[in-house]
Amino acid sequence: MLTTPPLSLYVHLPWCVRKCPYCDFNSHEAKGALPFAAYVDALVADLDFDLPLAWGRTVHTVFFGGGTPSLFPPESIDAFLQAASARLRFAPNLEITLETNPGTAEHGRFDRYRAAGVNRLSFGIQSFDDGCLRRLGRIHDSVQAENAVKLAQDAGFDNFNLDLMYALPGQTLAMAGHDIERALALQPTHISHYQLTLEPNTLFAAKPPAGIPDDDASWDIQEHCQGMLAEAGFAQYEVSAYARTDRQCAHNLNYWHFGDYLGIGAGAHGKLTLGSEQAILRRWKVKHPAAYLASAGTAAAIGGDERIEPTRRPFDYMLNALRLVDGFSLAEFEARTGLATAAIDTELHTALARDWVTRDHGRVVPTELGRRFTNDVIGLFLPD
Ligand SMILES: C[S@@+](CC[C@H](N)C(=O)[O-])C[C@H]1O[C@@H](n2cnc3c(N)ncnc32)[C@H](O)[C@@H]1O
Ligand code: SF4
């Protein structure tokens, strides 16, 4: 029996100062002045269109992602949040995160983001090594990164994430460790540590940079950094996520627990459980900002709708839950997919036999081996 999980709200803001050569997100180089007010109107119209999918439900987290949300002035973020809170019930202690590119940080802005209701920031730092930052095509250097974080701290933000990438071109184990040290010195509550991947249709995929560490060297970097983070009190709770106690990202945790989310904005994806129909709906919006601006709030803004059929649900669930260090409970699997555990008996048996997971008291937890080969473990659950 499908039960209705917690609901999050994802808001996509699709512009960046410059497109990074490794990035396959729906982000577009800003050419000239951005249509902030028109985009906020489009977001609100888009939300109105999706509202019937979420009547009466409470929103537990909001996440402004991109792109570079920090290109938007605080007044735009404020206007959207006011409109959203008039339409949806916001939970008390709602987590509201805004992704921030250090190259866009300005004095005075962070106070206003806070006043608008943002209570968590996520900085796209990537590295503190200026050579690495240049090779990644970033618009900021390490000093700007540190200054941006300090500006936010001065404005009272004490809950923030730093995004770092590793296995960068020319990066040694010592360099990666140094990035962790500099990140820790800024006293974040959360660190996301992503292995650089060569995504199709990016400049890096077309022309891979020299000196990318191989799989073994990348694994060594990951283990080394994980150890440093653990020693500093940052427990790993997901493949790429580390946090101090009680500072895990509630928004991302909801994704990983196969919760529901409204996806508002150009190219945004949503997932909604429709209890009365015992169905799970995915809906995504048209990707290009111009097309989105022209159609938001009408059916033409819907890039696609798809029901996740029962045969596909185990794979979609595992794609998320097996990323978690603590794994998942079979009771949650049943509630979120509407399937009995028997539906995955064969696959679980194989994963156990290969020492990829353990199963105890109704919980399935990836082993260290399983964590190293997450994609293979998830692959077991692909529908025939
Ligand atoms: C949407 S971006 C966040 C914020 C902002 N756009 C920025 O880059 O400063 C999310 C994060 O994903 C990570 N990321 C993006 N592309 C990646 C790739 N190809 N491999 C690994 N991590 C990647 C980066 O750490 C980035 O900060
Ligand atoms: S700033 Fe972030 S979203 Fe924009 S292109 Fe770079 S990595 Fe992608």
What does the pLDDT look like over 242-271, one tens digit per residue? 999 999 999 999 999 999 999 999 999 999
pLDDT of amino acid 106:
79
Question: CA nearest 8: which of 308, 299, 320?
Answer: 320
What distance in angstroms lies between residue 29's CA and the mean position of ligand 1's atoms?
A: 15
Q: 73-91 pLDDT, tens per residue? A: 999 999 999 999 999 999 9
| Ligand 1 atom nearest residue 103's Cα | 9
The 10s digit of each residue's pLDDT in 135-184 is: 999 999 999 999 999 999 999 999 999 999 999 999 999 999 999 999 99
Pocket of ligand 2 (CB under 6 A): 16, 19-20, 23, 25, 27, 66-68, 101, 124
Token output for 69 = 């949300």
pLDDT at position 384 is: 84
Beta-carbon contacts of residue 120 (< 8 Å; ≥ 6 apart) = 95, 96, 97, 98, 157, 159, 160, 161, 249
Contacts of 44 (CB under 8 A, 6+ apart): 80, 83, 84
Looking from the CA of residue 126, the nearest atom of ligand 2 is 7
Distance CA 273, CA 261 (A): 9
Say how many Å lie between the CA of residue 28 and the centre of ligand 2: 9
pLDDT band per the 50, 70, 90 thresholds, residue 105: confident
Cα 177 to Cα 147, 224, 229, 244, 378: the distances in Å are: 21, 7, 10, 19, 29
Quick check: CB of 25 below 6 Å from ligand 1? yes
